[in-house]
Chains A and B, each alone.
Chain A
Amino acid sequence: MLKDATAIVGIGQTAFAKQLPETEKTLACRAILAALDDAGIAPSEVDGFASYTMEETDEVEVAKAIGAGDVTFFSKVGYGGGGSCATVGHLAAAIATGQASVGVAWRSRKRGSGPRPWKNTAVQLPTPGQWTRPFGLLRPADEIGMLARRYMHEYGATRDHLFNVALACRNRANQNPAAIMYERPLTREMYMTSRWISDPLCLFDNCLETDGALACVIVGAERARDCRQKPVYVHSAAQGLPSQHHGMVNYWNDDPLSGPAWTAARHLWKQADFGPQDVDVAQIYDAFTPLVPLSLEGYGFCGRGEGGAFTEGGALEIGGRLPLNTGGGGLSEAYVHGFNLINEGVKQLRGTSTAQVPDAATCLVTAGEGVPTSAVLLRS
Chain B
Amino acid sequence: MLTPVTDEDGAPFWEYAAQGELRVQSCADCGELRFPPRPCCPHCQSFASEWRLMSGRGRIWSYVFPHPPLLPDYAAQAPYNAVIVELAEDPRIRLVGNVVATPDAALDSVDPARLRIGAGVRVAFTEVDGTTVPRWRLERG
Contact = CB atoms under 8 A, between A and B. Distances in A.
A199 B64 contact: yes
Interface string B51-66: 0000000000111111
Contact of A246 (B1, B6, B36, B66): B36
Contacts of A129: 2, 4-5
B117 A149 contact: yes
Interface range for B = 35 or more
B94 A251 contact: yes
Contact of A137 (B10, B77, B96): B96
29 contacts: A125-B2, A126-B7, A127-B5, A130-B7, A130-B10, A130-B14, A131-B95, A133-B2, A134-B1, A134-B128, A134-B131, A136-B70, A136-B107, A137-B66, A137-B82, A138-B71, A145-B64, A146-B82, A149-B62, A149-B63, A150-B117, A153-B62, A153-B117, A195-B67, A198-B66, A201-B64, A244-B42, A251-B61, A251-B84
Nearest to B1: A134
Best-surrounded residue of B63, B64, B98, B117 (most CB of chain A within 10 A): B64
Interface string A107-138: 00000000000010100111111111111111
Given A142-B66, A146-B64, 17 more contacts: A121-B71, A126-B5, A129-B4, A131-B95, A134-B1, A134-B128, A135-B97, A136-B74, A137-B66, A138-B71, A141-B66, A146-B82, A149-B62, A149-B63, A195-B67, A199-B66, A201-B64
A169 interface: no
A200 interface: yes
Contacts of A138: 2, 66, 70-71, 74
A134 B62 CA distance: 17
A128 B36 contact: yes
Interface in B66-80: 66-67, 70-71, 74, 77, 79-80
Contact of B67 (A198, A246, A249): A198
Interface range for A = 35 or more
Contacts of A249: 96
B18 to A, nearest CB: 14
Contact of B5 (A119, A125, A135): A125
B67 A136 contact: no
B71 A134 contact: no
Contacts of B36: 127-128, 131, 246, 252
